[in-house]
Amino acid sequence: MILKSSNQARCNICRGTQFELGPNERKSATGKLPRCTRCRSLERHRQLRQVYAQIPDRYLAGLDVLQLSPDIGVDPIWFSCYEISLFGGDNSLDLEAFDRMDASYDLVICNHVLEHVADDRKGLQELIRIARPEGLIQITVPSPYTRAVTVDWGYPKEEAHGHYRGYGRNFLQRFTEAEPGGWYCRSRSSTR
């Protein structure tokens, strides 16, 4: 069922103006309709697009990029060299043991993937290994602000979309412990 709202913003991905309820018939936290009917983007996709829109095109164009799982918030044409890993597809990479050389990428995009990995700390170590020393690893996970600490079930929980864990507000601390000294947030938080 498509619902329209006269105060709904225009989608920054496809410029669509019609929105509908999101997964599980939900509205956004502000009561708006979250899913664009044209490109199917949700708030998280449009927020990511907004972040990348702030980066100069000339900077993005020079990057070698690996994206783990498709995300409509990222456009492959922004980059000079772009590779995507599709779980179960032709280029399905194992996040816990990448078949890639050290320091292969300027940017590694990992949106809504780590929660599907049995050993997310090993996954983070692999992300760091394949990123160049001056590179960037962009990670998003579902709703870490909704719980105080990460809950790790130790198996892919079916009723939680096959996630091994639900991340909490201790998300950064969890990964700082996994890769001491190799995580930018570690050095930044230690100066506070």
Mean pLDDT, each 10-residue run in order, the chain (192 residues): 58 96 92 96 96 96 96 96 93 94 97 96 94 94 92 96 95 77 42 32
Q: In angstroms, rounded to a whole number, what is the distance separating the alpha carbons of residues 102 and 116?
A: 23
Q: What is the pLDDT of residue 189?
A: 34
Residue 168: closest CA among 148, 140, 141? 148
The three-state (H, E, C) secondary structure of 129-165, written as one string: HHEEEEEEEEEECCCHHHCCCCEEEEEEEHHHCCEEE
Q: In angstroms, rounded to a whole number, what is the distance separating the alpha carbons of residues 21 and 32?
A: 8
Amino acid letter, residue 167: Y
Measured in Å, how far apart are the chain's first and last C-alpha atoms? 49
Q: In angstroms, rounded to a whole number, what is the distance separating the alpha carbons of residues 131 and 129?
A: 6
| Single pTM value for the model | 0.86
Contact predicate 18/36, CB 8 Å: yes
Q: What is the pLDDT of residue 176?
A: 80
Q: What is the pLDDT of residue 190?
A: 33
Contact predicate 138/111, CB 8 Å: yes
Residue 112: closest CA among 140, 92, 86? 140
Q: What is the pLDDT of residue 128?
A: 93
Q: What is the pLDDT of residue 90?
A: 83
Show the domains of the chain with their CATH numbers.
Answer: 1-54 (no CATH), 55-190 (3.40.50.150)
